[in-house]
Amino acid sequence: MIERLVLASGNAGKLREFRRLLTPLGIDVVAQDELGIAEADEPHVTFVENALAKARHASRHAGLPALADDSGVCVAALGGAPGVQSARYAGDPRSDARNNAKLVAALAGQTNRRAHYTCVLVLVRHADDPEPFIAQGYCHGRIVDVPRGSGGFGYDPHFEVDGTGMTGAELPLERKNAVSHRGHAMRELIAQLRMTQDGARAWQHG
């Protein structure tokens, strides 16, 4: 039974979201920077490997179960780029504006604008957990040249979500949470945790 975990991120928005979703399960969430833990390296070419590396790093330093996510936008015409490099697509220092400008420039003249967001969540019960919880979520859409909306972050102003007619930056928060890649992944992860905790309770009570 997990009662407290460390979030392998210093992002305040992610911390609020994960706390809101996991508190009903009786799980207390603390951010890694509150414990003085630095960000882990992300050298891998897949979302799942990076998320797993971040979760194991945070768990090892905190001595707690850890939750990490790795996410990005994958564009069909660019062979899946920016992918795991989404946050640093235009190099360091990180800049949403420069990342979006580079993406729009890379798609100049392209008729295929299909893209999807991917989110992989990994939860480890300890740093060497051989059976981590892994959940994955997607949000499909297309890249638009002209940004729309003032909400969201990252590529949201240029990402028009299928079936909505709106970019991620135009969607109201509740609707965005319902269709987003992170929302889908979180619901899958919570379902896995509920099954595990229900099974543990059944085992404890015979």
Active site residues: 70
Question: Rounded distance, CA 62 to CA 180, Å?
Answer: 29
For the chain, the residue count is 206
Question: Rounded distance, CA 105 to CA 30, Å?
Answer: 39
Count of CB atoms situated within 10 Å of the CB of 198 = 10
Residue with token string 């330093």? 61
Question: Rounded distance, CA 175 to CA 160, Å?
Answer: 14
Residues in Cβ contact with 182 at an 8 Å cutoff, skipping those fewer than 6 apart: 17, 69, 71, 119, 121, 137
Angle, CA 79 vertex, CA 78 and CA 85 arms, to 5°? 80
